[in-house]
Amino acid sequence: MINPETLLRESKTFAVLGVNQDPESYANLILKKLREKNKVAYPINPKYPSLFDEVVYSSISKTPTLVEVVVFVVNPHIGIHYLQDIKDLGIKAIWLQPGTISDELLQKAKELEIDVVEACVLVVSNFI
């Protein structure tokens, strides 16, 4: 299992699934926090072409550069549908926020050999 602090410290590019119109949502707060830590963080949500005067990407494959870590801030029934694309893109790790985890999603990630971190980015970021 990957240490969350190590993953956050060593990774440079992230995709955040689940950004939305609420500036105080966890997804949006995580996006902001990653950027405060000098990380490249791309907002992902197929529902919005832009939010807060910023491009929102419809999928992980549409980001300008390949990401190293995908942060899930979506229901696991939605998140599970991203796993094959993550594998196909060669992304090695996903970060599951509280409330985004299911046995089915964890099993599928294991089958696809995707490393999983289960922790809150906002909490872990306080330690790096």
> What pLDDT, in 10s, does the model give residues 104-122?
999 999 999 999 999 999 9
Distance from C-alpha of 127 to C-alpha of 96, rounded to nearest angstrom: 18
- Which of 73, 116, 55, 118 has the alpha carbon at shortest distance from 91? 116
- Find the domain containing 74 and state its range: 4-127
Burial of 81 (0-12, 13-18, 19+ CB in 10 A): exposed
**pTM (two decimals):** 0.95
Rounded Cα distance between 14 and 35, Å, is 10
Query: In the prediction, which pLDDT does 63 show?
Result: 97
All residue ranges of the chain with pLDDT < 70 are: 1
CATH code assigned at 39 = 3.40.50.720
**CA angle, 103 as apex, 102 and 108 as ends, to 5°?**
100
Q: What is the pLDDT of residue 128?
A: 77
Structurally, how many domains does the chain consist of?
1
CA pair distance 117, 68, nearest whole angstrom: 13
